[in-house]
Amino acid sequence: MPELPEVETSRRGIRPHIIHKTVHSVVVRESKLRWPVPDSLEFQLVGRELLAVNRRAKYLLLEFEHGTLLIHLGMSGSLRVLKDDVPAVKHDHVDIVFEGKKGKKRVTLRYNDPRKFGAVLWLENVEESDYLKHLGPEPLSNKFTGYYLHKQSKKRTVPVKQLIMDNKVVVGVGNIYANEALFMAGIRPSLSANAIGYTRYQRLVLCIKKVLSKAIQEGGTTLKDFVGGDGKPGYFQQELQVYGRAGESCYVCGDVLEEIRMQGRSSVYCPKCQKGR
């Protein structure tokens, strides 16, 4: 599943090609995604200038003067910016065609999603939408601090990994990056959230920021179904310390990395480097 760095990579990849361009046409080949693509999409977009391409959590927000086009990549979605005459292939569900500038040809923002678990929605008031209003702070923002996370952990007996993957606490810390940040911080993923002190939460927050920033810099993590918006895969997988390496040696101490299942997800950790208390 594309996580925050992959979505941010897509945002940066598509933005230069479509920003401040006017929508020429909309093509919906398949409307039955996770939530139905609205019938009014063409009416809402055609003739309107795209003012901004932003991101909130794992949602891409294409902002127009009168509302916002929300795109979620789901489990297997991807976006491409293509020449207007490139034919659609299987799983190409939605096209947003933009006018060219100064004699240049039109370009198409194309949404492809084999599993159809993503979304393309129109929102008139994005801040009050049910998709965004309950989300926690962005992990790379100044609002996400050790003090904040320590405060959120009080009276919570859930494992710390579950805490940092809760989008109501902080957005976008998916399974891969939670594994990596906890390893970097020296904290075992199964440790109860309320058993961790303020100083260790300060370190964990710094590690989350470092891991996500590095992943964005490297273009995201290449997964089976994901390729970045510029057509290039991410390379952060070459930097993974623990995720997907159960049974292998820890790069730091040489101990064998162990794997446990938490909420149906793989959690890999080093029993020597990551303290259980």
Residues at the binding site for DNA are 91, 115, 156
Catalytic residue, candidates 3, 6, 8, 180: 3
Asked whether 233 and 5 are in contact (CB, 8 A), the reply is no
Q: Which residues are annotated as a binding site?
A: 91, 115, 156
Q: How far apart are CA 242 and CA 249, in angstroms?
A: 9
Asked whether 155 and 194 are in contact (CB, 8 A), the reply is yes
Asked whether 4 and 11 are in contact (CB, 8 A), the reply is no
Catalytic residue, candidates 21, 56, 58, 80: 58
Cα angle at 132 between 181 and 198, to 5 degrees? 35
3 labelled catalytic: yes
6 labelled catalytic: no
265 labelled catalytic: yes
Q: How far apart are CA 62 and CA 71, in angstroms?
A: 8
Q: How far apart are CA 47 and CA 99, in angstroms?
A: 9
Catalytic residue, candidates 48, 265, 271, 272: 265
Q: How far apart are CA 251 and CA 175, in angstroms?
A: 20
Report, as residue numbers or ranges, the catalytic residues.
Answer: 2-3, 58, 265
